Structure 1
Amino acid sequence: MITVLDCLESTALKFADNIMCEDANKKITYTDFVKNAKAIGSFLCKYATARQPVAVFMDNSVEAWEAMMGVVYSGNFYVVIDALMPIERIKNILTTLKPLAVIVDNKCENQAAKLGMGQNVYSYAEIVQPGLDADKIQAVRKRMIDTDPVYALFTSGSTGVPKGTVLTHLSVIKYIQWYAETFHINEETVFGSQTPFYFSMSVSTMFSTIYTGAKLVVIPKQLFSFPVKLIEFMNEAKINTIYWVPSAMNMIANFKALDNHQLPFLKTVLFAGEAMPTKQLNYWRQHLSADTMYANLFGPTETTDIATYYVIDREFRDDEPIPIGFACSNCDVFVLNDNDTLASIDEEGELCVRGSFLASGYYNNLEKTKEVFVQNPLNTHYPEIIYKTGDLVKYNDRGELIYITRKDFQIKHQGYRIELGEIETAVSAVEGVYECGCIYDLDKHLIVLYCSGKNLTSKDILLGVRDRLPKYMIPNKMFFLENMPHNANGKIDKKLLQKIYQNGNKK
């Protein structure tokens, strides 16, 4: 297999009439998916370009996925843009990209016009209609190699400007081979897709479907506000595998939805994107069948999706963090201290990654690329690029990696170096806490806690963490929200918490 298109076509031959993907409005077989993707690719071939970005400005849907792969068939790479993200962010992305073309659906067409996305804006219906031009597609494929880009995903940048992480056919295939083998993904797998297509977690479900012949079901976004209806939908679709952000799992656990409703088909539960609160994970483990596999996956967009993982193989107390485990196959990770030497056991350091999972870098941002994609300091003999993740980790006495926090979430408080993530782990274990997030007031040197839960008071939190945290790590201010804010990827929105605090909760 040289490209992801080779994977797709090989799978489509084996499972031609199987349903590949379905959403609320449409379902499609492997055969028809390939036909439509090739038709879109044929249309885009009129530009006679290669390795250029094409924006896909569409909702999560069967047709959006067809458009994405159609871009790849044209020899270019796709960039999915969230229609709900702030206008200024979309403009920043478009300024960086200068896309060759923009593909829209009916819902996003008017917004694309308002944003001034350029002349080359095409509706899905317009470009799928002309059909396949086999000669054009074949000519493109002859020139395609495994280091050509498949897609770019835009992530947050420390300067406020989004970074477009570019991933190649090689990186995707090597990563997906590990993912499919490790989690037993095959033609009988039915994914319940929660994450949007512009988020790196979607790469795992989408491309492992392409690789194995699995089925991907796009779960309607609104169901994640109604846990019982969500469970009913999953059972009706016979979903047996999920890969969700923890906040989506927390919603079911916090409402205790599994007390009276079962998920008999669900056998594989994977999660990533932020720390999984152990209390809520334990709830899931108590209510699903004993043979269900649970795994904590960890990694940035710059490593395709994941660099380390941990299959849950023992019991954990509610206040114990879940390890991020060990390196994926064909992916090496190591921990560097401030001197760029290997950290010892129980010494904090920055997680670094090397191998074919790595992205090529950031699109039109060579300066930022050079900051984090660097020469391996442990290898002075030949060029070898590693990625410095910015994540602080350490090994426990079992040799498992434990995530601590982001480097930029580390604070100095009362003379102590403190990881806000450690405070969040302790608070999340308190009875009645649904979700929590910590920020730091640099001006007044205060640890500020926000949390949601059932009938919570500051006294409840203080009593709950007094045996888990030293005094200097106890939050100085606490605020209680009915619901914690989440960003577009489903993670707790720390930046918004900071704004809420600055705009009114500083008294």
Structure 2
Amino acid sequence: MSLLKKIDQWAVTQPDTLAFIWRDRTLTYGELKAYSDSLAHWIAAQYSDDAPIMVYGHMQPEMIVSFLACVKAGHAYIPVDTSIPTERVLRIAQSSGAKLMLAASDAPDLPLTVKAGDALKALFMTDKPAPIKQENDKNFYIIYTSGSTGNPKGVQITHSCLTSFTDWMTSDFDLGTGKVFLNQAPFSFDLSVMDLYPSLVTGGTIWAIDKDMIAKPKELFASLAASGTEVWTSTPSFAEMCLMEPSFNTEMLPSLRTFLFCGEVLSNNVARQLSERFPNARIMNTYGPTEATVAVTKIEVTKEILDQYQSLPVGRCKSDCRILITKEDGTIAAEGEKGEIVIVGPSVSTGYLGSPELTEKSFTIINGERAYKTGDAGYMMDDLLFYNGRLDFQIKLHGYRMELEEIEHHLRSSSYVKSVVVLPIQKDGKYDHLLAVIVPEDHTFAKEFQLTSAIKKEVASLLPNYMIPRKFMYQSSIPMTPNGKADRKKLMSEVTA
């Protein structure tokens, strides 16, 4: 049974079950099917080609109605969050060739914009099911990520890519059926796919929290307490932010049984705190780039794993894919030897929309299967993948090559450090020194230089002197991007202003 039909079947067996909750707005499975079918009929009548359709908004229920309607009508959808600047929205429209943008909220004034709610109101609600035009090699969605040239890249995810991912999630993660999934990530960030489709195909309920809630902790934690969340999906940074609230524990979320983490490094410290506050919940660490459909590895972070590994592994590869570690000369690295992570299998994207040169640079075919060269550094040990940061996060400072994320990892091991971002500071066009921006743990030092001295003393046995940042800055929090990751660009602009 196709993914869309699995979702639609819940409208027959449990039409009144809530599929989606956002603030005071809800959407049942019966409504999801009826609205998406009707909107799909309208799209099919208005647009006979298969050009992708942009869907603009944040956490409105019309977003997922529009997603399913687009696909049912034979079009891939492009999620565009309200946090995305208008200029970037225009570039996505131009590069994708989209002729329609369904807007679930106020949107940039573009000729191709149609309000999703207005489109539905203009329709008579049909009892006829949408003619689902599904092909495994046809795009299901396209997510735009940042490109090194400054132009966004459209990652194409096909029906078969998403089916491979969703089948793995529902079969290997013991999620069950009818669970409440937390949705923290905006739909333009593929981490949201980790809760959206596993929830919908298992008859679950998505509890969405938005960016305004996240900016107001009192409102955020009130929403979490009311959610009944059983499956938590977020970046580690978002969980780390929540841990600053003392009441964030099993009393606030008594039904929580599974943490799903992706998108960033999960530190040993954060995982350990979560295991202490939520002793009944599993902590699942995963890894994967957008180009390989969210994630391809997983591991449950148990007490034994926490005690054995200071730097946590990201797990074993799912059964229908393979992980290769390649050296600079293209040969396969030995066990324990670092290299570039290459993902092979059906989860891998078909490439970047309309960008054959970029596609050729990062994608290839290995033994007849699609493969993606991630640009991530890592190594394999005992069948486990260990992530070692971005290859492009490597810098050369005073003749030494170093990885910023490795330095961050060791600084986090200090008893005085809650979270940290290391920034390379340039002078006269070259790297001059490293700056550590730190959120400190509670301490008794009267002066910042005393705290800095204590941190340096603790990490001196872990890092060579040339890798210890020259300057330290202390803040109450690390700014986050709308996707819930540490906002390195904002930090850099603040410290260099």
Give the alignment's TM-score, normalised by structure 1: 0.90
Q: Is 1:247 aligned with 2:237?
A: yes
- Structure 2 residue aligned with 1:283: 273
8 Å Cα contact 1:353/1:386 also seen in 2? yes
| One of 111, 114, 118 as aligned partner of 1:122 | 114
Q: Is 1:51 aligned with 2:50?
A: yes
- The AA in structure 1 aligned to 2:440 is G
SS where residue 283 of structure 2 aligns?
strand
Equivalent-residue separation in structure 1 for 2:90 and 2:308 (angstroms): 43
Equivalent-residue separation in structure 2 for 1:184 and 1:131 (angstroms): 40
- Structure 2 residue aligned with 1:336: 326
SS where residue 364 of structure 1 aligns?
coil
Equivalent-residue separation in structure 1 for 2:93 and 2:328 (angstroms): 36
8 Å Cα contact 1:40/1:131 also seen in 2? no
SS where residue 208 of structure 1 aligns?
helix
SS where residue 135 of structure 2 aligns?
coil
Equivalent-residue separation in structure 1 for 2:250 and 2:99 (angstroms): 52
| One of 195, 199, 217 as aligned partner of 1:205 | 195
Equivalent-residue separation in structure 1 for 2:152 and 2:55 (angstroms): 17
8 Å Cα contact 1:224/1:248 also seen in 2? no
- The AA in structure 2 aligned to 1:76 is H
- Structure 1 residue aligned with 2:356: 366
| 1:408 Cα deviation after fit | 0.2
- Structure 2 residue aligned with 1:76: 75
Provide closer, same or farther for how the CA distance between residues 94 and 5 of structure 1 changes in structure 2, counting only shifts above 3 A.
same
Deviations 1:137-189 (A, max 9, x none): 33xx3x53121111100111111111111111111111101011222223231
Q: Is 1:389 aligned with 2:351?
A: no
- Structure 2 residue aligned with 1:108: 106
- Structure 1 residue aligned with 2:386: 402
| One of 430, 438, 453 as aligned partner of 1:451 | 438
Counterparts of residues 15-30 of structure 1 (less than 5 Å): 15-30=14-29
Consecutive unaligned residues of structure 1, counting only runs of 5 or more, are: none
Consecutive unaligned residues of structure 2, counting only runs of 5 or more, are: none
| 1:136 Cα deviation after fit | 9.1
Equivalent-residue separation in structure 2 for 1:17 and 1:82 (angstroms): 28
Equivalent-residue separation in structure 2 for 1:470 and 1:340 (angstroms): 30
| 1:27 Cα deviation after fit | 1.2
| One of 488, 492, 496 as aligned partner of 1:498 | 492
Number of matched pairs: 485
Q: Is 1:131 aligned with 2:124?
A: yes
Deviations 1:368-418 (A, max 9, x none): 111111133xx4xxx44310011000123x332111110100123344331
Equivalent-residue separation in structure 1 for 2:308 and 2:473 (angstroms): 22
Counterparts of residues 74-223 of structure 1 (less than 5 Å): 74-105=73-104, 107-109=105-107, 112-113=108-109, 117-118=110-111, 120-129=112-121, 130-132=123-125, 137-138=130-131, 141=132, 143-223=133-213
8 Å Cα contact 1:295/1:309 also seen in 2? yes
| 1:334 Cα deviation after fit | 1.3
Provide closer, same or farther for how the CA distance between residues 315 and 225 of structure 1 changes in structure 2, counting only shifts above 3 A.
farther
Deviations 1:443-462 (A, max 9, x none): 24322222223566422431
8 Å Cα contact 2:267/2:409 also seen in 1? yes
Deviates more, 1:6-15 or 1:243-252: 6-15
Equivalent-residue separation in structure 1 for 2:156 and 2:37 (angstroms): 22
Equivalent-residue separation in structure 1 for 2:257 and 2:205 (angstroms): 15
Deviations 1:320-376 (A, max 9, x none): 111111102312111111111111122111111111111121111111111111133
8 Å Cα contact 1:79/1:151 also seen in 2? yes
| One of 396, 400, 405 as aligned partner of 1:421 | 405
Q: Is 1:296 aligned with 2:295?
A: no
Equivalent-residue separation in structure 1 for 2:129 and 2:23 (angstroms): 33
- The AA in structure 2 aligned to 1:199 is F
Equivalent-residue separation in structure 2 for 1:262 and 1:315 (angstroms): 26
SS where residue 137 of structure 1 aligns?
coil
Deviations 1:87-126 (A, max 9, x none): 3322221221231111113x414xx21xxx22x3211221
| 1:231 Cα deviation after fit | 4.2
8 Å Cα contact 1:299/1:307 also seen in 2? yes
Provide closer, same or farther for how the CA distance between residues 258 and 207 of structure 1 changes in structure 2, counting only shifts above 3 A.
closer
RMSD value over aligned CA atoms? 2.2
Equivalent-residue separation in structure 1 for 2:308 and 2:477 (angstroms): 21
Equivalent-residue separation in structure 2 for 1:499 and 1:319 (angstroms): 34
8 Å Cα contact 1:151/1:167 also seen in 2? yes
8 Å Cα contact 1:254/1:280 also seen in 2? no
- Structure 2 residue aligned with 1:489: 483
Provide closer, same or farther for how the CA distance between residues 132 and 340 of structure 1 changes in structure 2, counting only shifts above 3 A.
farther
Identity of aligned residues (%): 24
Equivalent-residue separation in structure 1 for 2:171 and 2:49 (angstroms): 32
Provide closer, same or farther for how the CA distance between residues 482 and 29 of structure 1 changes in structure 2, counting only shifts above 3 A.
same
Give the alignment's TM-score, normalised by structure 2: 0.92
Equivalent-residue separation in structure 1 for 2:380 and 2:318 (angstroms): 16
